[in-house]
């Protein structure tokens, strides 16, 4: 769905400093070459299967289905991947591509730390240097992931500017890339930033919906009625949606982090509360004030705490192909606890936003309807923060 | 001949950058006037942006200081209207694409014309995306300044051929900020520029001393200085304009 200039409707584009233009053009050229290269694809498939543990399971959540008393619920278990989230799908693809391009160093931004951990992992595996930028606020919220990255040999740089969260980590990674391009690939973690990143990351994450489609056809003999995923930048959601976009019978639902509610300023629900703007290399929806200053956003989830959304989601929203709904901190925490108790699965707090929305709509759906929820990551990293949210004095 | 181009007729041009509203607009006005009295040929006025991804720590902080003082695009427009009574040299706005887009591109650019703002520098608007604003800039006679970077290579000719106002040559990789040494082979970049356009080119990023300014102006048509001036504002606050005046004089004298 990408046109040659990297546009999704009016969204997307390449709004970056001239210093980076040849780097993204070189990346685009390399990607267009290697995506058709059988050897590249063979190596990537082997990494995904043998190293990351794909395909991930499509699990029938029978207890949850019975408890909610509506649609039949399947969970796409991206939490079972190596490193505990969907992020590894994209990182293995980009790291392999970077290596083919002769790069020896990966830099990345991270919010919750999952993308940073995945990048540090791929760098360790492929013998590359790795530097991860993480908002200082997030290094505190996700201290365990900071340690994991260091354990894997990466350098973690806490970013103190702005709101010291994901958006500032992206800005700092972009600044770092402008200062060192020759040996460095910016391994962007979501379907955002300048073209070709939204396309590359989507293609590497599309394995999720490719598998869902095969698995559900095998199990149920038909397509699901709804696919639900959480949306920050939107990589697990676009990965979950992609192979269903041309199947209009499948409802595609993205769950945005509403924080304390979309009627408050403490929210990160970009499509629900933002306006079209230009930032971090792309035209898309952004939370911003009337003068275009990017708004400080808030969510309990460090991974969804971002003021923008990928341009393809902005487009799917504009044409009405996907719905984007807000889910509050409270609802997500309830769903986090619910899935743990009901299915024995502790989801990432990001993924819990998708579970929360499913809990709202499943009971009203007929039992012959089928819904797939992508569990984008596992929730071990969030346990301490959720305990504190519930008033327990637990620190890592 | 455009006003910007005329500003390069008086020997090598010195172009200081000042962030509007850092620490307040009164100081900005005094700083601009001090710069002009001491030989500045063009003034680059920064409209602050919350997340200036092309800036180093010094200008990032200036943006945040100005924004935390509550400055808005409308206040800056009103301020420039006043400033224009005293300041006759060309002025250009430096800001980020979202500030223009969000204000409404036509409303922003037509206001520039009303304010006699001569040009617009948007570091996150490369050649490939200039259609976003260029047709409006053309309509209202505001020159959209293009940038060339050390990594531009085979893009230099393409950018230079369509350039207007002046060409902003980025001296080094990375973000704005002072550098002890500039290693890029700028002479060969300038040579390709000269082969493709007759408009002037000035070098910016990393220049903080008269010696550096002279070296850069010797191989181009002028020098652009931002962080070194912002440092003076950071250090002296409301007292900064007199230091800025002296600094601009030393820079202009060096390149004259």
CATH of the domain at B119: 3.20.20.70
pLDDT of residue A3: 56
Residue of A nearest to B48 (CA): A293
Enumerate the residues of chain A whose CB falls inside 8 A of the CB of residue B159: 18
Mean pLDDT, range B227-239, rounded to an integer: 97
Enumerate the residues of chain A whose CB falls inside 8 A of the CB of residue B100: 292
Report CB contact under 8 Å: B155, A22: yes
Q: Please check the confidence at residue B1 and state whether its pLDDT lies above 90.
A: no
Q: Quote the ipTM score.
A: 0.97
pLDDT of residue B182: 85
What is the distance in angstroms between the Cα of A296 and the nearest Cα belonging to chain B?
10
With cut-offs at 50, 70 and 90, classify the pLDDT of residue B202.
very high
pLDDT of residue A147: 95
Separation between Cα atoms, residue B103 and residue B95, nearest integer Å: 12
pLDDT of residue A396: 66
pLDDT of residue B213: 97
Report residue B113 CA to chain centroid gap.
17
Which entry of A72, A76, A87, A103 is annotated as an active-site residue? A87
* pTM assigned to the model: 0.97
Which token pair is A222?
């038909």
Residue of A nearest to B159 (CA): A18
Report CB contact under 8 Å: B99, A286: no
A109 is catalytic: yes
Give the model confidence (pLDDT) of B40-54 as tens digits: 999 999 999 999 999
pLDDT of residue B178: 85
Which token pair is A264?
């408050």
Which entry of A109, A137, A211, A331 is annotated as an active-site residue? A109
Q: Provide the strand spans (E) within B47-187.
A: 91-94, 119-121, 143-145, 147-148, 167-170
Neighbours of B131 (CB within 10 A): 9
Reduced 3-state DSSP string for A160-206: CCCCCCHHHHHHHHHHHHHHCCCCEEECCCCCCCCCCHHHHHHHHHC
Q: Which of A26, A12, A90, A10 is nearest to A281 (CA)?
A: A12
Cis peptide before A129 (omega within 30 of 0): no
Rg of chain B on CA atoms, in Å: 16
The percent of residues above 90 in pLDDT, for chain B, comes to 95
Give the model confidence (pLDDT) of A263-319 as tens digits: 999 999 999 999 999 999 999 999 999 999 999 999 999 889 999 999 999 999 999
Report CB contact under 8 Å: B97, A16: no
Select the residue from A5, A7, A11, A19 to test the B interface by mutation, using most B Cβ atoms within 10 A.
A19
Range(s) of the domain holding residue B134: 3-255
Q: Give the residue ranges of chain A where pLDDT is below 50.
A: 1-2
Enumerate the residues of chain B whose CB falls inside 8 A of the CB of residue A291: 72-74, 99, 102-103
What is the distance in angstroms between the Cα of A255 and the nearest Cα belonging to chain B?
26
Give the model confidence (pLDDT) of A141-160 as tens digits: 788 899 999 999 999 999 99
Report CB contact under 8 Å: A21, B127: yes
Using an 8 Å Cβ cutoff, are B94 and B47 in contact? yes
Separation between Cα atoms, residue A200 and residue A202, nearest integer Å: 5
Using an 8 Å Cβ cutoff, are A272 and A287 in contact? no
Q: Cα-flanking dihedrals φ and ψ of residue B253, to 5°?
A: -60, -35
pLDDT of residue B179: 87
- In 3-state terms, what secondary structure has residue B146? coil
Domains of chain A are 9-48+87-201 (3.40.50.1100), 55-84+206-389 (3.40.50.1100)
Q: Containing H/E element for A328?
A: strand A322-328
Separation between Cα atoms, residue B98 and residue B113, nearest integer Å: 19
Neighbours of B152 (CB within 10 A): 24
pLDDT of residue A308: 97
- A283 CB-side CA count, 13 A: 19
Size of interface A-B (CB pairs under 8 A): 120
**Number of structural domains in chain B:** 1
Q: Please check the confidence at residue B177 and state whether its pLDDT lies above 50.
A: yes
Mean pLDDT, range B15-19, rounded to an integer: 98
Task: Select from A18, A180, A276 the Cβ nearest to the Cβ of B152.
Answer: A18
Separation between Cα atoms, residue B142 and residue B135, nearest integer Å: 10
- In 3-state terms, what secondary structure has residue A351? helix
The chain B residues in contact with chain A (CB within 8 A) are 49-51, 53-54, 56-57, 60, 64, 67, 72-74, 96-103, 123-129, 132, 146-155, 159, 170, 173-175
Using an 8 Å Cβ cutoff, are B224 and B203 in contact? yes
Neighbours of A102 (CB within 10 A): 10
A376 is catalytic: yes
């Amino acid at each position: 769905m990408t046109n040659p200039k990297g546009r999704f409707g009016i969204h997307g584009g390449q709004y970056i400093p001239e210093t980076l233009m040849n780097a993204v053009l070189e990346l685009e050229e390399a990607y267009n070459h290697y995506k058709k290269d059988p050897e590249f694809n063979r190596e990537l498939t082997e990494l995904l299967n043998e190293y990351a543990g794909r395909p991930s399971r499509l699990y029938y959540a029978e207890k949850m289905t019975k408890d909610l008393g509506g649609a039949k619920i399947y969970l796409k278990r991206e939490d079972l991947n190596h490193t505990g989230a969907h992020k590894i799908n994209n990182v293995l693809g980009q790291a392999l591509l970077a290596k083919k391009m002769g790069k020896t160093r990966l830099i990345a931004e991270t919010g919750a730390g999952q993308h940073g951990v995945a990048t540090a992992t791929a760098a360790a595996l492929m013998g590359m240097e790795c530097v991860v930028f993480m908002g200082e606020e997030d290094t505190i919220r996700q201290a365990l992931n900071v340690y994991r990255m260091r354990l894997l040999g990466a350098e973690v740089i806490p970013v103190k500017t702005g709101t010291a969260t994901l958006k500032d980590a992206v800005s700092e990674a972009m600044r770092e890339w402008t200062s060192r391009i020759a040996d460095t690939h910016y391994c962007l973690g979501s379907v955002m930033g300048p073209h070709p990143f939204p396309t590359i990351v989507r293609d590497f994450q599309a394995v999720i919906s490719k598998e869902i489609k095969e698995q559900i056809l095998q199990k149920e003999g038909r397509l699901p009625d709804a696919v639900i995923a959480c949306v920050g930048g939107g990589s697990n959601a676009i990965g979950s949606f992609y192979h269903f976009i041309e199947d209009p019978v499948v409802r595609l639902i993205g769950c945005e982090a509403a924080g304390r509610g979309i009627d408050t300023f403490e929210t990160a629900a970009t499509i629900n509360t933002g306006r079209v703007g230009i930032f971090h290399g792309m035209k898309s929806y952004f939370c911003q004030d009337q003068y275009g200053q990017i708004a400080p956003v808030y969510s309990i989830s460090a991974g969804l705490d971002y003021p923008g959304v990928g341009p393809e989601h902005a487009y799917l929203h504009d044409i009405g192909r996907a719905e984007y709904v807000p889910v509050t901190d409270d609802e997500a925490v309830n769903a986090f606890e619910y899935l743990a108790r009901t299915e024995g699965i502790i989801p990432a707090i990001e993924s819990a936003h998708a579970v929360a929305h499913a809990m709202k709509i499943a009971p009203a759906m007929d039992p012959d309807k089928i819904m797939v929820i992508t569990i984008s990551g596992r929730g071990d990293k969030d346990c301490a923060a959720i305990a504190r949210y519930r008033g327990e004095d637990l620190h890592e | 001949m455009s006003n910007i181009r005329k500003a390069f007729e008086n020997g090598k041009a010195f172009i200081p950058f000042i962030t509007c509203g850092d620490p307040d607009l009164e100081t900005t006005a005094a700083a601009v006037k001090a710069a002009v009295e001491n030989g500045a040929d063009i003034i680059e006025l920064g409209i602050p942006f919350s997340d200036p991804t092309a800036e180093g720590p010094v200008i990032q902080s200036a943006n945040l200081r100005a924004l935390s003082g509550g400055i808005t695009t409308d206040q800056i427009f009103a301020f420039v209207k006043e400033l224009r009574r005293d300041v006759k040299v060309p002025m250009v706005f430096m800001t980020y694409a979202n500030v223009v887009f969000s204000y409404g591109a036509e409303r922003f650019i037509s206001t520039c014309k009303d304010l006699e703002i001569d040009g617009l520098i948007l570091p996150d608007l490369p050649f490939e995306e200039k259609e976003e604003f260029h047709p409006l800039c053309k309509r209202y006679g505001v020159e959209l300044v293009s940038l060339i970077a050390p990594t531009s290579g085979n893009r230099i000719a393409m950018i230079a051929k369509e350039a207007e106002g002046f060409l902003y040559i980025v001296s080094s990789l990375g973000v704005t900020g002072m550098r002890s040494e500039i290693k890029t082979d700028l002479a060969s970049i300038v040579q390709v520029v000269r082969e493709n356009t007759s408009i002037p080119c000035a070098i910016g990023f990393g220049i903080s001393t008269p010696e550096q300014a002279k070296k850069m102006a010797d191989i181009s048509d002028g020098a652009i200085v931002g962080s070194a001036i912002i440092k003076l504002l950071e250090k002296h606050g409301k007292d900064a304009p007199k230091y800025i005046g002296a600094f601009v004089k030393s820079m202009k004298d060096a390149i004259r």
